[in-house]
Amino acid sequence: MIRGFSKSILATSLISLSALAGTHEHCAIDTLEIPDHEATLPAEEFHEWVDARWYGKKFLDRTLPEESMKKYVETMSTEEKSKSRLIFIGDSIAAAWRYENNIDAFNKHFGQYNPQNFAIGADTTHGVLRRIREGNLDGFSPEVMVILIGVNNIAWGPQHTVEQTADGILKVVQTIHMKMPETKILLMGLLPRGDNEREGSFRWQQGVEVNAILETSIDNRYLFYLNIADQLIEEDGTVKDDVFEDGVHLSSTGLDVWAEVLKPSLEKLTETRQ
C-alpha cells in the first residue's frame, strides 16, 4: 500500500525564471565551498549497471541506442557536439527517455534542441563526476543542461546522508559550470516516491530535505531550479499511479508530464542565445 505524504511538505518550489535578465556580482555556483567526501569526489568504481552502460560491458538486456556511451561520445564530431543545445544528465529516471518506447516522445518534446541524453540508470553524484572526468561532456557547450541526480546516493548503495547527497549534487553542478561557464543549468529537485513499504527504500522525507538545501544555492543567473512534485502527487499526498511505473520511475505518461512542465523553462533559458 502506498503511504501518503504531507501536501505542505511536497509544495513545488519553482524558482521564477523572470530573474534570467538580472545581473549578479558573483555566481553562486562559483563561490560554493563543498567539502570533499565520497559523494563529492569521482567514484573509484562504478556500480555495475553504470559501468556497463558507460564502458559497454554486458550486464542486463535493455534496449538502448548505444552499447557504450563513452564510445558514442568519443566518436561524435566537433560539429555534432556543437549542435547539441540541450543535454540531460542523471540516473534512471532521466535515462528512461532513451528507452525504445519513449524515444519518439523525447524527440517530439525536445528535438528542436538536438538533445543528448547522458543519464544512466543507477548512477550517483560520484558516478557522474567520474564520467565527467573521463570525458562524458568534453567538447559540448549546450545552452541548457538538465540535471536529475542524487536519489541513488540515499536510496541504496552508499546510503549518503541528506547533507552529503546535497553536497554531491552541488558538486556536479559546480563541475559542469566550470566546464561550461555559459551553459544554463536547470537543476531538478528529487522526485516524490511511493515505494516506502519496500525494504531499504529511499525515504521521501530525505528527498524533501535535500531539495530544501538545493533551493538555497540557486542564483537564477546560471543555475535554476525546478521541482515538479505537485504535478506527480494527489491531493492527499500519494503519488499518482498513472505517472509512475513502480512508485519510483516515471511512466511514459509521467515523462510527458515532466516534459510539459520543463518546456516553458527551456524556452526561457534558450531565448538569450538564439
Helix (H) or strand (E) holding 48: helix 48-55
Q: Which amino acid is at 55?
A: Y
Locate cell 531565448: which residue? 271
Longest dimension (CA), the chain: 51
CA–CA separation, 220 vs 268, rounded Å?
12
Helix (H) or strand (E) holding 117: strand 116-117
State the distance between the two ends of the chain, measured CA to CA, in whole angstroms. 48
CATH superfamily label, 17-273:
SGNH hydrolase (3.40.50.1110)
The one-digit pLDDT tens for each residue of the chain (274 residues) are: 223 333 333 333 333 333 333 333 456 777 889 999 999 999 998 888 888 889 887 654 444 445 689 999 999 999 999 999 999 999 989 999 988 888 999 999 999 999 999 999 989 999 999 999 999 999 999 999 999 999 999 876 668 999 999 999 999 999 999 999 999 999 999 988 765 544 334 567 888 899 999 998 888 889 999 998 888 777 776 777 787 777 678 888 989 999 999 999 999 999 865 5
202/186 Cα distance (integer angstroms): 23
Whether 28 contacts 219, CB under 8 Å: yes
pTM to 2 decimal places: 0.85
- 207 grid coordinates: 528527498
Record the cell numbers describing residue 3, joined without a space. 503511504
**C-alpha cell of residue 94:** 532521466
- What residue spans define the domains of the chain? 17-273
Residue with cell 563561490: 31
Closest CA to 150 of 175, 131, 174, 167: 167
